[in-house]
Amino acid sequence: MKPVPFAQIVAEHGATVWAVCRSILSETDADDAWQETMIAAMRHLPDPAEGTNLAAWLTVIARNKSIDIHRRRVRQATPVADITAVADRVSIRTGSHPDPESTATGSGTIDGDLRAALARLTERRRTAVLAHHVAGYSYAEIGELLGSSEDAARRSAADGIAELRRQLRRRS
């Protein structure tokens, strides 16, 4: 396999890597996790071995870096503040305005409606949905992030998806 210039890898997969990081971290922490992911990837070049799916390879690194940062944050927080801190971090991109009205900046678009619907989910369901369906974290990992069991994380994700579908259908 000919070596791929890293600039092309960043251009092609940079957004995916950020989404993986952002699914469980704040924007600022996601930026840090993105940088650490790319540095780690550069350190591994020119391997990955032949035939490696670059997107999958980067996603694994991004998940591990994000979990590291998440753990660091949880360790730094007091147990009581922890739940709130996690909740703050999992709000979606425009989630600095938890009010669904101001969250739906793309009103009239699928994107805007989905944002509004996501903002209405409980933090626990939102984290489970984004971390599993966007970033591919396992339910065991999500359970650890949420401080719950693997089964509870799986239920949160399923309930979150069902609620999103319900909300989006109602709006049609």
Partner 1 sequence: MTVPTEPADPHERKNPMITDPPTTDLDDALTAALDPGSERIARLTTSLAPRADDEGLLDLTYRRVDGPHGPLLVAATETGIVRVAFAEGGVDQVLEELAEAIGPRILESSLRTDAAARQLTEYFEGTRRSFDLPIDLRLARGFRARVVAHLLEIGYGRTETYGQVATAIGNPGAVRAVGTACAKNPIPVILPCHRVVRSDGTIGNYLGGTEMKRALLAMEAA
Stretch that binds partner 1, among 52-60, 69-77, 129-137, 149-157 (CB under 8 A): 129-137
Report in angstroms the alpha-carbon separations of 121 from 82, 92, 161: 19, 11, 10
Q: Which residue has the tokens 């600022």?
A: 28
Contacts to partner 1 from residues 18-77, by CB under 8 A: 18-19, 22-23, 30-31, 34-35, 38-39, 42-43, 45-46
Report in angstroms the alpha-carbon separations of 51 from 4, 17, 94, 97: 12, 20, 37, 43
Q: How far is the CB of 104 from partner 1 (least distance, A)?
A: 5
Q: Assess 170 for contact with partner 1 (CB under 8 A).
A: yes
Question: Which of 27, 20, 9 has the alpha carbon at shortest distance from 66?
Answer: 20
Q: Assess 131 for contact with partner 1 (CB under 8 A).
A: no
Q: Assess 90 for contact with partner 1 (CB under 8 A).
A: no
Question: Nearer to partner 1 by C-beta: 45 or 140?
Answer: 45
Cα 171 to chain center, whole Å? 26
Residue-wise over 13-38: b if at least 16 C-beta within 10 A, else e?
beeebbbbbbbbbbeebbeebbebbb
Q: How far is the CB of 154 from partner 1 (least distance, A)?
A: 16
Element (H, E) at 18: helix 6-22
Q: Assess 100 for contact with partner 1 (CB under 8 A).
A: yes
Residues at the interface with partner 1 (CB under 8 A): 2-8, 10, 14-16, 18-19, 22-23, 30-31, 34-35, 38-39, 42-43, 45-46, 92-93, 100-101, 104, 107-116, 118, 129-130, 133-134, 161, 164-165, 168-172
